[in-house]
Amino acid sequence: MRSKSEVMTKTNLTVAALVLGVSFMFGLFLFQHWHSNDTQEVSFATVLEPAREVSAFNLQGVDGRPFTQKDLQGKWTWLFFGFTSCPELCPTTMAKLAKSYQLLKQGKKVDLPQVVMVSLDPKHDSLARLKYYVEAFHPNFYGATSTASVVKSLASEMGIAYAKIKLPQGQSTNAYTIEHSGAIMVVNPKGELQAFFNPPFSAENLAHDYRVLARK
């Protein structure tokens, strides 16, 4: 028998997938329209000048391999910090990331970013569960986590605030939830933190500004 948390996770993923499918074509139209009149300026992200170095870290990837600072080098990366039993913010944000990723594939040529979700809840998010979660949004998406202290250190360096909130008894199969930032961190191919998006933002916003950043 599946647990209540597994059923809730599947429901959240199904809702997010439906929202993504319905909105994708309209989003593609808007993105192509905006791109044809592109000002080549970052309009929605906060850009760090100069970009900020990211200290060494060591997470465990969903493929069983270490995921370290070196894995941020040689490519652009979108980093999101969340957890698989997150009721709203995480599936909504992941759906936007998936839509933005598809918009980039459909538009003019640009190197696609690696999209990585770092779990803030290593106690409940096994690598298998995290892999299932991220790949439900896109098969190219990746997940990683580590011990609570390692994750906390990386999140703090990235400016991601989060806190465990105890839930009333009987409200959930978990004893707590996690309140956290919904920011998307953009890491450049040198492995430096180049920019970030604070919500609210749209998939079109993210795709537009990423194109500008990736072409500089």
Q: Which domains does the chain have, with CATH numbers?
A: 4-215 (3.40.30.10)
How many Cα atoms sit within 13 Å of 96 on the Cβ side? 21
Q: What is the pLDDT of residue 25?
A: 53
In the structure encoding, which two tokens stand for residue 40, read together?
């080549």
- How far is Cα 35 from Cα 31, in angstroms, rounded to an integer? 6
Q: 189, 190, 191, 187: which is closest to 45 by C-alpha?
A: 187
Q: CA 210, CA 42: separation in Å to the nearest integer? A: 8
Residue (of 4, 206, 186) closest to 87 by Cα position: 4
Q: Each residue of 136-164: pLDDT tens digit?
A: 999 999 999 999 999 999 999 999 999 99
> Which range, of 14-28, 103-117, 151-165, 178-192, averages the lowest pLDDT?
14-28
Residue 184 backbone phi and psi in degrees, to 5: -105, 120
138 in Cβ contact with 101 (< 8 Å): yes
Q: What is the structure's pLDDT at 99? A: 98
**Mean local confidence (pLDDT), 165-175:** 76
Using the predicted structure, report yes or no on whether residue 173 has a pLDDT greater than 90.
Answer: no
pLDDT, position 20: 54
DSSP character at residue 90:
H
Query: Which 3 state secondary structure label does DSSP give 197?
Result: strand
Instruction: With a cut of 80, say whether residue 128 has pLDDT above it.
Output: yes
The reported pTM is: 0.81
